[in-house]
């Protein structure tokens, strides 16, 4: 009887080992398929950027003949020299960087100040506030009413028009509010017992614990402001305060042929195309350089802020 048990035990162990090997092979195949899909999607996203980089670094003769694809031909940096030597590009770059920094800090502050009170159950009218705030996320007055509002507020052709109207995103506020819900109430209650004030609890408890979601939302706000140009296009006439993306928009609309390029002072055939690519890379690379520093917080912040409500 004991011999039979040992044989059955050995058979079960062998069967478990075979099952583990089969599952291991199946898992490896699934991982390979997943990796292939990720590489394919990444290639789709990277190929346009690689093409732009190659075009910006290629000789104009090859650009005219449409012979540049993923690798530069001729290695010409004349377009980058033109961009970096022109004061209007550098001034616009500096102004956009400053604008992005100001808007990101202000937006994070406004988002926290809006989300934090809404986690208090004893806040009178909290349900009504939540409903009103959520409604504004789905319904918008439209372009013309917004323009008339900016006009009545004397914000037209004022740098504040690029900062104030977009200083708070309701979607981002909901993410931060949901993240605050995930912080144990006992921490706040213990601080209240010790006599901590409303803002003291926010600064000493909630902000240190909210680094992941704050980094994530900072990336959202920074990318949105850096890439934004429609508000400046509608509300700004003073070219001194044109953000980089609006300057890029105007250049791409103006430099459409060799004749227009000649009028702009770029008489070399094909330089207009190279200049377009160089300006796009010039405006894209800085914001791409920020992402690796915030990547470790990105997924963590979004998932934690989206689980609880």
Same-domain pairing of 35 and 128: no
Same-domain pairing of 221 and 95: yes
**pLDDT, tens digit, for every residue of 178-225?**
888 888 888 888 888 888 888 888 888 888 888 888 888 888 898 888
Global pTM reads 0.74
d(CA 287, CA 220): 11
* Residue 65 domain flag: no
Same-domain pairing of 26 and 145: no
d(CA 4, CA 2): 5
**pLDDT, tens digit, for every residue of 214-241?**
888 888 898 888 888 888 888 888 888 8
Same-domain pairing of 103 and 12: no
* Residue 68 domain flag: no
Same-domain pairing of 83 and 182: yes
Domain containing 88 equals 79-307
**pLDDT, tens digit, for every residue of 143-169?**
888 888 888 888 888 889 999 888 888
Same-domain pairing of 49 and 136: no
Count of domains for the chain: 2
* Residue 170 domain flag: yes
pLDDT of amino acid 266: 46
* Residue 69 domain flag: no
* Residue 277 domain flag: yes
Same-domain pairing of 12 and 145: no
Q: Where are the alpha helices (DSSP H) in the chain?
A: 2-56, 60-64, 78-85, 87-115, 126-138, 143-152, 170-181, 185-193, 198-201, 207-209, 211-227, 230-235, 244-254, 258-263, 271-307
* Residue 242 domain flag: yes
* Residue 67 domain flag: no
Domain of 203, CATH number, reads 1.10.3720.10
Same-domain pairing of 296 and 184: yes
Residue 19 has pLDDT above 90, yes or no: no
Same-domain pairing of 163 and 200: yes
What are the DSSP calls for 208-263, one per residue? HHTHHHHHHHHHHHHHHHHH--HHHHHH---GGG--HHHHHHHHHHH--SHHHHHH
d(CA 295, CA 292): 5
d(CA 64, CA 307): 53
96-105, 214-223, 252-261: segment of lowest average pLDDT? 252-261
pLDDT of amino acid 108: 93
Same-domain pairing of 158 and 239: yes
Same-domain pairing of 106 and 34: no
* Residue 73 domain flag: no
Local confidence band at 98 (pLDDT 50, 70, 90 cut-offs): very high
**Token code pair at residue 185:** 């109430």
Same-domain pairing of 202 and 258: yes
């Amino acid at each position: 009887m004991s011999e039979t048990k040992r044989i059955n035990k050995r058979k079960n162990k062998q069967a478990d080992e075979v099952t583990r090997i089969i599952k291991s092979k199946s898992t490896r195949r699934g991982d390979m398929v997943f990796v292939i899909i990720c590489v394919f999607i990444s290639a789709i996203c990277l190929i346009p950027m690689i093409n732009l980089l190659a075009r910006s670094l290629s000789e104009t003769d090859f650009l005219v003949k449409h012979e540049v694809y993923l690798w530069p031909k001729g290695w010409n940096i004349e377009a980058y020299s033109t961009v970096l030597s022109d004061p209007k590009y550098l001034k616009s770059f500096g102004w956009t960087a400053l604008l992005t920094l100001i808007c990101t800090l202000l937006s994070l502050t406004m988002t926290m100040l809006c989300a934090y009170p809404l986690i208090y159950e004893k806040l009178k009218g909290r349900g009504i506030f939540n409903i009103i705030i959520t409604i504004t996320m789905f319904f918008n007055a439209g372009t013309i009413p917004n323009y008339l509002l900016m006009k009545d507020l004397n914000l037209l052709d004022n740098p504040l028009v690029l900062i104030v109207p977009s200083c708070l995103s309701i979607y981002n506020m909901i993410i931060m509010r949901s993240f605050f819900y995930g912080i144990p109430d006992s921490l706040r209650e213990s601080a209240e017992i010790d006599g901590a004030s409303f803002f003291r609890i926010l600064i000493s408890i909630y902000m240190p614990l909210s680094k992941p979601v704050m980094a994530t939302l900072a990336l959202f706000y920074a990318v949105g402001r850096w890439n934004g140009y429609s508000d400046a296009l509608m509300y700004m006439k003073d070219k001194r305060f044109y953000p980089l993306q609006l300057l890029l928009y105007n250049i791409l609309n103006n430099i459409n042929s060799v004749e227009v390029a000649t009028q702009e002072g770029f008489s070399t055939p094909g330089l207009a195309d190279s200049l377009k690519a160089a300006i796009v890379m010039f405006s894209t690379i800085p914001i791409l350089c920020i992402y690796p520093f915030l990547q470790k917080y990105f997924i963590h912040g979004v998932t934690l802020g989206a689980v609880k409500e």
